[in-house]
Structure 1
């Protein structure tokens, strides 16, 4: 027997069970830091136009320190089977819930920033076991929900190059390592970009993609914009003028930003909570869209793992050279009305050549699965039913 390793050989993927188990010392440290927060003065306006109001952030941080029960939340997240896999030289944390239905379709669902796998905690079980949640067995999925590199419990890249294309290749390798040669994919925010790259780069494996945020192509210049396009253009202008500072900082100096956010839980909470206010369909207050505990669950995955800098680096990687791509696999789009920039089909079609499903949602914003789990699940089922 030859002891020579064939060129290109890669050992079988190492996959190990994982459970969230935060040491008590980390929780003590969090409470102590929250108690020692050095607060700025209150904003001289009576709204969120200068950022998250002092009184609300103090209220949330007091709740976080004295009422929020991480152990109960940790146990709730641990109801999902979780694993760590060595994929593409990256330790990737992922939830993997196999459906009881034998003909279930594999699907990989991907979060973005400032999200995490917590975004999907209300949709994983209905997707995997539709019969138990008022659906049909024919709509079942084997659900794989990874944490992006540098996010949550996944490892942090220690060298440049981990942009959306490499992450898409990593996801394709992960799905193959789990025995899923053909699968669907879903994503929003950076998850939309990764999902689009999966469809573009791995069409033999990716059956189709479902998006709740769409990469924007160019507006047709041979006609005046219609009302839908004017609304999207106004949203884009508002984003560029008033809402994109976080993106500029994370895409240019994520390391500098990371020092303050990694040292201050109040700072990390403020950085994320402001986006839950700005990007949800919340009528002016984030807790109209999301529960306080689940927002803190999401913030905890950033705080506990000190991922302020590593999560921001995805902007540095991707904005320096955003890949141009076309996606020819079947595509479904869920258009939520309070998306940062609501997608316009005419702008999307030059990138996505086979849009088979487009839904105008009645409510919801950027964090679709988090805000509107039932609408999200119904639309994912409806789109992939076309491909089964």
Structure 2
């Protein structure tokens, strides 16, 4: 396996082409959608697209990303891009962070250095991590895919190989959304390689994804479930990704406004933003993610990953080990996430060591609440350090 340093440089011709496409947008008519009830509001979308065209500076964001050490390699025919920051402390623990669908590796930008260099971020050097942040196969610079069978199962296997190549026989893993499937799979299928599993989305092998029996919930947990406001289309993407990914990809690959609308809707609906997406993600942040999808032409790759994953109900088992995640496990519960499980269910199917109900935050966990997530990961791994 050959690992090579990597820097992003999008040709200026592609930056210029994007601006031309944005300028030539044919806008759809819109009726009675001021409240976003029919999808993305046109007034805000036009405002954001105007800024993408005339105000957003990709080169500034590109330089920010390139300030992190990045690498590319290929494992089993799958191109892999990742950030790798070595920790500053007496005994850094390796941790691999898994992003989700319609996320990018850049969603972890605020916690990477806080984990790697805690002393520079108000922490203790003894809590340092070696931080590895790969792009999931098909996403951003982990592409283009040449296979259609790479989902979360295969990705977990790839990550074990990647981490061993980097010199880590064992490591901690964190994940949200699709990344939680990868992290949970690692804990279930590769316990010998995993120090601990930290999840911001409660996915468990062999357990249905829905909330479960209300009798299992404490009053506090029941309040979370009853307060969910997913909206009628919260999971429509799952069916599209599984059964019709290529049809949608034709449109998104050709239209930056279409791509923006698809991703923006979910950023707003799934985050704890109270209807104002910019309280969690400012314009530059939103457009950096959109630009990563656009310039890498990776929307189709993200769809193929989801199709290969199919996110079975429940996640399949590959062994009869009990509990199913038989390594130390932590769950960070975000009050505005899309799905919950009771603590009792999680404890029955994992070696649950830590359960934290955050005061705020939604589906994009670490991107929305980086300080809380950093603290939660540190507190979970602290007692495990002497054993790794």
Distance 2:265 2:347 in 1: 32
Distance 1:221 1:273, change over 3 A: closer
Distance 1:320 1:205, change over 3 A: closer
Distance 1:363 1:239 in 2: 16
Which residue pairs with 2:380 in the alignment?
383
Kept after mapping to 1: 8 A contact 2:94/2:131: yes
Kept after mapping to 2: 8 A contact 1:239/1:340: yes
Distance 1:314 1:224 in 2: 33
Q: Identify the match of residue 335 of structure 1 among 319, 333, 336.
A: 333
Q: Which runs of 5 or more residues in structure 1 are unaligned? A: 1-12
Distance 2:102 2:216 in 1: 35
Shift of 1:239: 4.2
Distance 2:341 2:288 in 1: 29
Which residue pairs with 1:317 in the alignment?
308
Q: Where do residues 1-388 of structure 1 align in structure 2 (5 Å cutoff)?
A: 13-215=1-203, 217-218=207-208, 223=215, 227-228=219-220, 230-231=222-223, 234=226, 239=230, 241-319=232-310, 321=312, 323-325=315-317, 326-352=324-350, 354-388=351-385
Distance 1:147 1:195, change over 3 A: same
Shift of 1:227: 4.1
Distance 1:312 1:382 in 2: 35
Shift of 1:349: 3.0
Kept after mapping to 2: 8 A contact 1:336/1:368: yes
Distance 1:340 1:276 in 2: 12
Shift of 1:111: 0.2
Shift of 1:159: 2.4
Distance 1:222 1:64, change over 3 A: closer
- What is the count of residue pairs matched by the alignment? 374
With structure 2 as the length reference, what TM-score do the two structures score? 0.92
Q: Which runs of 5 or more residues in structure 2 are unaligned? A: 318-323
1:106 match: secondary structure = strand
Distance 1:241 1:274 in 2: 13
With structure 1 as the length reference, what TM-score do the two structures score? 0.92
Distance 2:215 2:245 in 1: 40
Distance 1:355 1:232 in 2: 20
